[in-house]
Amino acid sequence: MSRVSAGNLLPLVAFIVALGVISQVLADRFQVPSVLFLIIAGIAVGPEGAGFVTRQSFGDSLSVIVGLSVAIIVFEGAFHLKVEKLKEAPSAAFRLVTIGAAIALIGTAVAVRFAIDGATWGTSLLVGALLVATGPTVITPILGVVPVRDRVAAALETEGIVNDVTAAIAAVVIFDALQPGASDPYSLAPEFAQRLGVGLLVGLVVAAVIWYVLGNVDLSPGNAPQNARLLTLAGAIVAYGAADTIATESGVAAVAAAGIILGNADLPYEENIEEFKGDVTLIVLSFVFIALAALLNFDRLLELGVGGIIVVLAVALVLRPLLVFLSTSGAQFTKGEKLFVSFVGPRGIIPASVATLFALELQSHADELRAAGEIAQAELVATQANILVGTVFLVILATVVFEGGLARKIAEYLDVIPMRVLIVGGGKVGRSLAERLEDRGENVVLIEHDEEIVERARNEGFTVHKGNGTDTEVLRSAGAENAKIVAAATGDDDANLLVAQLASSKFDVETVIARANNPDNVDAFEDLGVRTISASMATAWALDNVIERPALSNWMTELGRSGDVQEIEVTAEDLVGRTIDDLDDELPNGVLIALVGRDGNNEVPEGDFTLQQGDHITFLGRKDAVHEALARCHPYD
């Protein structure tokens, strides 16, 4: 391989980074995961495109650059994997990285062995091990533009981090076992455990050192945040290098372990560290994806023929849904969420980088065999190298383009992007409201500072962010920037008023509602523009309904369970100009149009009432019938 001078490499790296930044900007502009633009950019400048970037462009440095970049990316993903988030879907996440990973490995190996001509069992197992990994390099950009429920994000992020680690180590162990003179196959499990153990131990030690230094050493008060950022980044690189020196590919496990520990250690300057790492990760992610995409060889992909397409279809449309539905059985995932996780599992950097490393070693071995006159054996090894790289890159390309590029469309079609609701106050009122909203499919986060209430709410299955809801940073970290509704439901009117004002002024939340415990405060709240519910008046209304309208009162308590009331705005053109009688004929049994609102006035409509643009229709009836009526009258665009 040709040597590349630093003078030639520097402008190339600068060009790729600039192209990556442009790709990130375009991704934000069009709300598409950045990996799609990055891989397209890589192909465009690679040998299959303009030819600016080739394998020879990097000389012998590509594997080192990719390795360090992967370390930073995995560390960043692990740092954001909070224990609180893991509690959202612990059983599903655990099964995805155990049962799911086993199904992916074995199933992919079988598909490769029988679908692709010339593939040996050894190569098939290598491909199977590598394609277990999804990884933060592809999952994080997708979740950036598809704000799914926390339980779905937790499962995908955990799977990505853990399977990146186990896939890389498993592939190296299998590759070593296939080499001539390798040790007994029964040593595979101990060798896997040894490499994983080395990574975890090194990661733990590095994390402990960083935690101690940040918490106990004066980092120069004037530049403490900056020094904390640099120390954390350096720690990730040291963890990767030290572990990988001791045992190949254990560096990925080291940075993952260090990231998870430090991300949950309540570090000083944590917000500064997160922002800095995020920017660095965007740069290295851009570089790695473009560099590896530039190595794509379409002729090698075409050589796989129909067998390659069969493998892609088996991985994406058979094995992935199978392992997801098995892993999420019994969890709180809806059918739409299971399908979303099934069809959004693109493969990323780890399979590409490790497959490239293996292929280079196999090609080198083939050259040695040719030099020794063993032509037939050399051709077999070279063929296996081509099958390995071709299959892995074909699956990556197909899943990134189709699953990554269409992730938001898939989410919208399956209706898994919920309305995010923050409820400040995890007491009985807050939890009751959260229960009703979650029954209707909303993504609800409770904010509560009392440790006992936090634990109780979590035990009841709610997502809880621990902190004081009157703190702007607490609201931001709980997701106020993406919330459509904020409900201040504490027993303290002053706190509720402050929460409501912060939500409106700082985060521009669409709907802000406050609970007024003292009826004398209602007017003051509303004078400040806060929509207010008086606790005493609400109780009086409920008592009045029980006395005067017992049947209706009993039915109202079932709202969101067996019965429901929902309101939509008339925006679809096919509704404008139609009468209530026309609409009634198309509605399912068990639902009726209770009210129509127009210009601030509500009325029970007659059959010949004609709908206009902007009218508000209120449906009342059985829960399933109401939701079917909503789907017919206001389909998701």
DSSP per position, 210-268: HHHHHHHS---GGGHHHHHHHHHHHHHHHHHHHHHHHSTTHHHHHHHHHHHHHHTS--T
Average pLDDT over residues 462-479: 88
| Number of Cβ within a 10 Å radius of residue 227 | 17
pTM above 0.85, yes or no: no
Domain 420-548 CATH assignment equals 3.40.50.720? yes
> Domain map of the chain by residue range?
6-414, 420-548, 561-633
How far apart CA 114 and CA 317 sit, in angstroms, is 17
Q: Residue 381 is which amino acid? A: V
The sheet with strand 420-424 has its strands ordered as 463-466, 443-448, 420-424, 485-488, 511-516, 531-534
Position of tokens 């990323």? Answer: 348
Identity of the amino acid at 83: V
Cα(287)–Cα(65) distance, integer angstroms: 9
Is 554 exposed, middle or buried, given 0-12, 13-18 or 19+ CB atoms closer than 10 A? exposed
Structure tokens at 52: 């600016």
CB-based contact 12:57 (threshold 8 Å)? yes
Surface-to-core class of residue 94, CB atoms within 10 Å of its CB (0-12 exposed, 13-18 middle, 19+ buried): middle
Strand partners, 422: 445, 486
Contacts of 364 (CB under 8 A, 6+ apart): none
Q: Does residue 221 or residue 25 have the better pLDDT?
A: 25
Rg of the chain over CA atoms, in angstroms? Answer: 28
Please tell me the predicted confidence (pLDDT) of residue 269: 75
Whole-angstrom Cα distance, residue 8 to residue 22? 22
Q: Which residue has the tokens 């523009």?
A: 529
Domain 6-414: which topology?
Na+/H+ antiporter like fold (1.20.1530)
Which of these, 576, 594, 575, lies nearest to 586 by C-alpha position?
Answer: 575
CB atoms within 10 A of CB 367: 13
CATH of 561-633, one of 3.30.70.1450, 3.90.1150.10, 3.20.20.70, 3.40.720.10: 3.30.70.1450
Q: How far apart are CA 12 and CA 372, in angstroms?
A: 38
Highest mean pLDDT among 69-73, 287-291, 425-429: 425-429
The pLDDT of residue 632 is above 80: no
104-118, 201-215, 386-400, 523-537 — which is least confidently predicted?
A: 523-537
Angle at CA 328, nearest 5°, toward 324 and 331?
165
CB of 114 within 8 A of CB of 5?
no
138 contacts 33 by C-beta, under 8 angstroms: yes
pLDDT recorded at residue 331: 66
What 3-state DSSP class applies to 1? coil
119-162: per-residue pLDDT in tens? 999 999 999 999 998 877 788 778 877 878 878 888 898 898 88
Length of the chain: 637
**What is the phi/psi pair of residue 426, to 5°?**
-100, 20
DSSP states of 490-553: -S-HHHHHHHHHHHHHTT--SEEEEEESSGGGHHHHHHTT-EEEEHHHHHHHHHHHHHH-HHHH
Q: What is the pLDDT of residue 374?
A: 87
Per-residue pLDDT band for 270 (boundaries 50, 70, 90) equals confident
Whether 434 has a pLDDT exceeding 70, the answer reads yes
DSSP letter for 402, please: I
